[in-house]
Structure 1
């Protein structure tokens, strides 16, 4: 059961919780608090701890409480975080902090951006071929960029990152050529380790994700047989193959977009633009939620200029 609860969290959240527990234990030691008053944590100890971090930030306070709540939950201990007095302390701590400035809405990527990529990239280059496959799949598949890329060239993990195995399933219609494709991502922000199947279809113009995927796999052919657990969007280099990192992808796309006269875009820009484009083309909110693996309507806050289609 404990293992299942741990698997419900992303690696980043687990790292945050690990750091939070270390901070809690360090604070308890500095205050001379006995072990029995650390785990499980009584409400008065939690209140003093909150007071000690009350000048930090709202996110730090919330993360600290979430960390300790999670520890109590997976260890079957009573959680006193809902004690009325403690809730007042928590509210007072967060209310006394200045409001964090909200980030402006991320500018979306639209098909015109994909056309700029297509015109600028060298499709005889394995890296460029992989970049275009990621861009079109993230846009038309309405994927978070982090579900298709890796944080660094050494951080690929087949349990959370999309890999060559089980591969991409291309589908046709009778004697017709390929008209759609499907591949599995093992982890998403909403489904966790249940993952999700990403479905892409042929688009009538050059930004078709299916054609981009086919070209990428052809350009980097052989990786599947040699490295079945390699990153799906890995590309060949003179020294071997490298997974597609989010930083490398964003840096190259930003350079292309700025060269074409577009403003800077961000990782979320692809799925924001893709979701908006699907709505403009008549896809229902219900089907869009399925495509984007959303469980609520919160994603609507990210969409641009969709009043006329919602």
Structure 2
């Protein structure tokens, strides 16, 4: 690079932007340094990192040793993650090297050898850490949530708007909340200015939520969620209630509430799920997860006979929702398969 201040400044900004959306960047670096500390890898061997070091790191990060295997017994700590996550960690380490001015640490052949080891570990450990499928939120649960929340309370009004929009808009929970209060960024998270109310060709009201960034969006691409009237559990009414109970400016978070000091606060994901699960547990249901709303909305629409292609477009999936949420098929199978023999008199 030429030693020109403006070029150097632009290169620095570009490097920072390249890392901004790498969700596993920090986690990958932390895990790598933990590995190096455990196995006493000296600082000089961490940057640049050699193939043997990164190969060993990948195997350790993905390994979930059988406690009954005496050859693997000992005091070595393991914090196993999925093979998919390990590959994200390696991508983060690659970005870290490049950002620090070093070449990419792994050749194509090196990556192939690491992937070979990871595939082997995945085969060995198959089923050992399988997570149960995320349960879908149902319409009954959504109605119980509304009956329990105090919609005149700023915090609960925000919770209800999030629940409604996540369900009917089939939104990812990370699109309606933030990981921490300090992480809210109006250029990346949805604000009050990103909401438009209108009427369609049949003069029916709708709301459009424009996401400035999304998991499946290209840089600079805006994805839109369309919400329509839905009776007693209507997302349009939930958004209207939120705007009245929690008045805020155009650049404030859409899903926000006011604390006792009158400060606008974005809804934090874990805080929202804690409140939602407290309600669901009180009604006798099990634990829900952020993705349960997206699954629940898709399951409901499919169960009502809505075209999978329409659900795919509304939910912003690249494949058919039936393929994505096949684990929820038992919730809708009777709508499509039951009593078909009756037409033949059986």
Q: Do they superpose with TM above 0.5?
A: yes
**CA deviations over 1:82-117 (Å, ceiling 9, x no partner):** 345544444455555575321212221111112112
- Any unmatched runs of 5+ in structure 2? 1-13, 66-77, 338-346
Maintained 8 Å contact 2:24/2:92: no
**CA deviations over 1:242-277 (Å, ceiling 9, x no partner):** 222222222222222222333332211111110111
The residue aligned with 1:171 is: 198
How does the TM-score come out when normalised to structure 2?
A: 0.72
* Corresponding residue SS for 2:142: helix
The residue aligned with 1:65 is: 90
The residue aligned with 2:238 is: 212
Cα RMSD (Å): 3.4
Moved more, 270-279 or 291-300: 291-300
The residue aligned with 1:299 is: 324
* Corresponding residue SS for 1:107: coil
- After TM superposition, give the deviation of residue 149 of structure 1 in Å: 1.0
The residue aligned with 2:176 is: 148
Maintained 8 Å contact 2:200/2:206: no
- After TM superposition, give the deviation of residue 170 of structure 1 in Å: 0.6
* Corresponding residue SS for 1:30: coil
Pairing 1:1-310 to 2, within 5 Å after superposition: 2=15, 5-7=18-20, 9-10=21-22, 12-20=23-31, 22=33, 30=41, 38-39=47-48, 41=50, 43-44=51-52, 46-50=54-58, 56=78, 57=80, 59=82, 61-71=86-96, 77=104, 79-83=106-110, 85-95=113-123, 97=125, 99-164=127-192, 166-172=193-199, 179-191=205-217, 193=219, 194-203=221-230, 205-221=231-247, 223-224=248-249, 228-240=250-262, 241-297=264-320, 299-305=324-330, 306-307=332-333, 308-309=335-336
- After TM superposition, give the deviation of residue 202 of structure 1 in Å: 0.9
- After TM superposition, give the deviation of residue 120 of structure 1 in Å: 1.9
C-alpha separation between the residues in 2 aligned to 1:32 and 1:2?
23
Q: How many residues align?
A: 298
Moved more, 248-257 or 82-91: 82-91
- After TM superposition, give the deviation of residue 208 of structure 1 in Å: 0.8
Which has the greater radius of gyration?
2
Moved more, 142-151 or 242-251: 242-251
- After TM superposition, give the deviation of residue 239 of structure 1 in Å: 0.5
Maintained 8 Å contact 1:108/1:304: no
C-alpha separation between the residues in 2 aligned to 1:87 and 1:121?
48
- After TM superposition, give the deviation of residue 51 of structure 1 in Å: 5.8
C-alpha separation between the residues in 2 aligned to 1:269 and 1:90?
30
- After TM superposition, give the deviation of residue 296 of structure 1 in Å: 3.0
* Corresponding residue SS for 1:171: strand
Maintained 8 Å contact 1:147/1:162: yes
- After TM superposition, give the deviation of residue 138 of structure 1 in Å: 0.4
Evaluate the alpha carbon distance shift between residue 88 and residue 31 of structure 1 in structure 2; reply closer, same or farther with a 3 A threshold. Answer: farther
Maintained 8 Å contact 1:257/1:264: yes
C-alpha separation between the residues in 2 aligned to 1:175 and 1:272?
28
- Any unmatched runs of 5+ in structure 1? none
Moved more, 136-145 or 241-250: 241-250
**CA deviations over 1:191-211 (Å, ceiling 9, x no partner):** 2653421110111x2111111
* Corresponding residue SS for 2:238: helix
Maintained 8 Å contact 2:29/2:93: no
